[in-house]
Amino acid sequence: MFSWHKKGSAGLLIATIALIALALGGVCFAQDTIKIGLVGPYSGNFSYLGACMEQGARMAIDPFNEKGGILGKKIEMVIEDNQSNAGTTTQKMMKVIERDKVNFVIVGGGTSCAISAFEIAKREKVLTFSGDANDNSLNGEKANRYTFRIPEPNYEIVKAIAPSILEKYGKRWYFHTADYKWGWDIANTFRAFLKEKGGTVVGEDLIPMEARDFSTYIINVKNAKPDVLVVLMGGMSGVAAQTQYHEFGLDKSIKRVHPLFDHDLWLTIGHDIAKENGIGLVEWDINIGAPGCKEFYKEHKRKYPMTFVPIPMMDTYHSYIAVRETLRVMAESKTTNTQEVIKRLEGRVIPDSLTHSPAMIRAEDHQYLRDAYIFEFKNPNEVKFNGDWVKPFKRVPWKELYRPPSIHLNQEPF
């Protein structure tokens, strides 16, 4: 213990040097590796997504580590389960930032989790990617200079798929809507489109994430006699809904669509039930036929031969792109400085995006821009392996899809 009275200024100097050395030791330890935080769902309604996002991130990390890392530093992941819960996301974000000193974070678990993470990212000045959330606010009022969103926004999903639903099935729609932020947002976006085209919403049920009995909701749909049931749910509640639609024979009387393709949901319920759904939109799939997709699938199969989801799904792809491009920027610029990395991500063009058109990270709102694909399910005799279930029949180039940015994050100070 230091005695300030006896040692005077010498004691103060020694103590100060010791504290500086301790602090520098912590910094040096943190800089020995490049750390990526994954705050995602390994339990809760979207429990399957965490592992899929982790696979994509590791597929991006491994090639760098095999070549010695970046700036002589190995890359490692720090994983935390946010339980698909916004409050837990806040806690786990602070944990990976304060304890683990991560360089950047990928967050999953849905819109509410992304919003919580984005608030922390702004306050703590940490680069953060949303890997699975589609809410329109994430490249709008909830975005900030430190946040980026890889999935497509609800507005663009609706713009791409709604005209085909209207043409194929009719103008009288019924919604089964997840009763939380994402569900409200995409349902409102669909309603605005339908109203503009002279269609009618004949009914809607707001369904809690914990719902497992859908008998009342199915009766409501049958009584309303819509042209099509639009299912805006995912996760385990989506699995329960699709299973009971089948058990009630709903497909015999009413067409239904699940507009946003959900690999894990279909793999859980099986092809026979999945194909009862009509057309939908897929943000990315191994069957879109773009350069690099087959190779990406083969590498995923080599690395993860026993995984529950036997193909790389959308969120695998989202994490892969977020991590790969960030690490590329660090390697190209020879820096891990957060603000410099962000500036180089803004406006970045990605020729090898595993989509037909080169993708881009838009500078103004930090939205990842890429083509969208409308799909239909394959017939059983067309399926070559588990997960090989869809065939895209229409590509929507991103330059025809995205509306102009509503914000200009690249002009904001850090």
Task: Tell me if 356 is assigned to some domain.
Answer: yes
Task: Tell me if 376 is assigned to some domain.
Answer: no
Q: Do 276 and 341 belong to one domain?
A: no
Q: Do 159 and 277 belong to one domain?
A: yes
Residue 404 DSSP symbol: P
Is 30's pLDDT higher than 60? no
What is the mean pLDDT of the segment spanning 260-266?
83
The reported pLDDT for the residue numbered 31 is 62
pTM above 0.85, yes or no: yes
Is 121's pLDDT higher than 90? yes
Task: Tell me if 390 is assigned to some domain.
Answer: no
Task: Tell me if 391 is assigned to some domain.
Answer: no
Q: Do 160 and 276 belong to one domain?
A: yes
Of 235, 265, 282, which one is at a domain's C-terminal end?
282
**pLDDT, tens only, 144-171:** 999 999 999 999 999 999 999 999 999 9
Task: Tell me if 407 is assigned to some domain.
Answer: no
Is 100's pLDDT higher than 70? yes
Q: Do 236 and 275 belong to one domain?
A: yes
Q: Which residues constitute the domain of residue 134?
A: 32-152+290-370
Q: Do 278 and 241 belong to one domain?
A: yes
For residue 369, the cross-strand partners are 360
86-90, 212-216, 231-235: least confident range = 231-235
With residues binned 3-state (H G I as helix, E B as strand, rest as coil), the percentages for the chain, rounded to 5, are 50, 20, 35
CB 303 within 8 A of CB 55: yes
Q: Do 338 and 365 belong to one domain?
A: yes
Of 370, 391, 406, which one is at a domain's C-terminal end?
370
Is 17's pLDDT higher than 50? no
The reported pLDDT for the residue numbered 378 is 92
Is 2's pLDDT higher than 70? no
Contacts of 34 (CB under 8 A, 6+ apart): 69, 70, 71, 73, 74, 75, 76, 103, 327, 330, 336
Cα(153)–Cα(156) distance, integer angstroms: 6
Beta 372-377 vs 280-282: how paired, if at all?
antiparallel
Is 19's pLDDT higher than 70? no
Q: Do 116 and 184 belong to one domain?
A: no
Q: Tell me the pLDDT band of 262, cut-offs 50, 70 and 90.
A: confident
The reported pLDDT for the residue numbered 207 is 97
Q: Do 297 and 319 belong to one domain?
A: yes
Task: Tell me if 52 is assigned to some domain.
Answer: yes
Q: Do 328 and 255 belong to one domain?
A: no
Task: Tell me if 160 is assigned to some domain.
Answer: yes
Q: Do 148 and 294 belong to one domain?
A: yes
CATH of the domain at 59: 3.40.50.2300
> How many domains are contained in the chain?
2
Contacts of 187 (CB under 8 A, 6+ apart): 175, 177, 204, 232
Q: Do 87 and 183 belong to one domain?
A: no
What is the mean pLDDT of the segment spanning 358-375?
97
Q: Tell me the pLDDT band of 293, cut-offs 50, 70 and 90.
A: very high
Q: Do 124 and 231 belong to one domain?
A: no
Residue type, 177: T
User: Among 389, 356, 351, which Cα is nearest to 373's?
Assistant: 356
Q: Tell me the pLDDT band of 185, cut-offs 50, 70 and 90.
A: very high
Task: Tell me if 404 is assigned to some domain.
Answer: no
For residue 175, the cross-strand partners are 204, 230
Beta 33-40 vs 104-107: how paired, if at all?
parallel
The reported pLDDT for the residue numbered 22 is 34
Of 282, 309, 332, which one is at a domain's C-terminal end?
282
